[in-house]
Structure 1
Amino acid sequence: MLKKKKLIITASILIGFSALGQAQAGQVTIKQDELIPELMEKKTEMVKDSRMGDRYRIQLFSGDNNQASKMIKEYRALYPQWPSTIVYETPNYKVWVGNFRSSLEADKALLTIKKTFPAAFRFKPEKK
């Protein structure tokens, strides 16, 4: 009688696991909107152009256009590895460097840049 109970319990457990394994076998179909790949591409572009996402920059100069032009030429000759641009924010022209993903990355670059441009500082631009 005890052997019959063990046999029945063991058979029940095996059948249960077998049914569970079969219930999970199946096919999944994913339907996505046709615009999703295009939107993902646009998002990637926006992140690269720093129109989206948290980024850090370094400011070298703020003042008139002639001085900003001289400053950016000097910078580009010394540090071509980080992109630079002149930005106009009323009433000054500003020389901005880099597009750093983290403050640590920006701080590392700042240590190098400060050797030549001691007034440089790291900041996080406001999103437009």
Structure 2
Amino acid sequence: MRNQILLLVFFFLIPFYGFSQSSAEQSLDQLIQKKIKYNSNTKRGFCIQVYNGNEKQAIQHIVQFSALFPNIQIKRIYNVPEWKVQTQIYKTRLEADRVLNQIKLEYSGARVVYLNATGHF
């Protein structure tokens, strides 16, 4: 009798276990797809900050940087109370670090900074 009960429990629980397992896998796949979509829609990333200070020197740094690195886009941003000179946005830290290695030869104080979805710190 005991063996029959165990056999019945076994046959009834296995199909439900298998169903919940595949349901969990589907949920995980859906979650991964949502994360991929979210990451592709946001503008987060990394840039290289070349200068942080007053406006006059920020403009000078932009002119000098553009002459030294014509293939890298650069911009000037005002965050009270200082001006920041930053490069284009890179999707990964690895990309930004590779460019930083080149820039550090001319700008030893340059550093990689993380940008949130609005493009600011």
TM-score for both structures, normalised by structure 1? 0.58
- Say which one has the larger Rg: 1
1:70-117 superposed Cα distances (whole Å, 9 cap, x missing partner): 001000001011110000000000000121111000000000000000
Kindly indicate which of the two structures has a greater share of residues assigned to helix: 2
Cross-structure match for 1:76: 66
Cross-structure match for 2:112: 122
Please give the secondary structure, in 2, of the residue aligned with 1:99. Answer: coil
Please give the secondary structure, in 2, of the residue aligned with 1:58. Answer: strand
Cross-structure match for 2:91: 101
Structure 2: stretches of 5+ with no match in the other structure = 1-39
The one-letter code matched in structure 2 to 1:83 is: Q
Residue 52 of structure 1 and its aligned partner are, at CA, apart by 2.5
Is 2:44–2:116's contact at 8 Å kept on the other side of the alignment? no
Cα RMSD for the two superposed structures: 1.5
Cross-structure match for 2:23: none
Write the distance in 2 (CA, Å) between the matches of 1:117 and 1:98: 16
Cross-structure match for 2:100: 110
Please give the secondary structure, in 2, of the residue aligned with 1:115. Answer: coil
The one-letter code matched in structure 2 to 1:66 is: K
Identity over aligned pairs, percent: 27
TM-score for both structures, normalised by structure 2? 0.61
Please give the secondary structure, in 2, of the residue aligned with 1:68. Answer: helix
Write the distance in 1 (CA, Å) between the matches of 2:90 and 2:53: 23
1:16-52 superposed Cα distances (whole Å, 9 cap, x missing partner): xxxxxxxxxxxxxxxxxxxxxxxxxxxxxxx7xxx92
Number of corresponding residues:
79
* Higher RCO, 1 vs 2 (CA within 8 Å, ≥6 residues apart): 2
Residue 125 of structure 1 and its aligned partner are, at CA, apart by 1.6
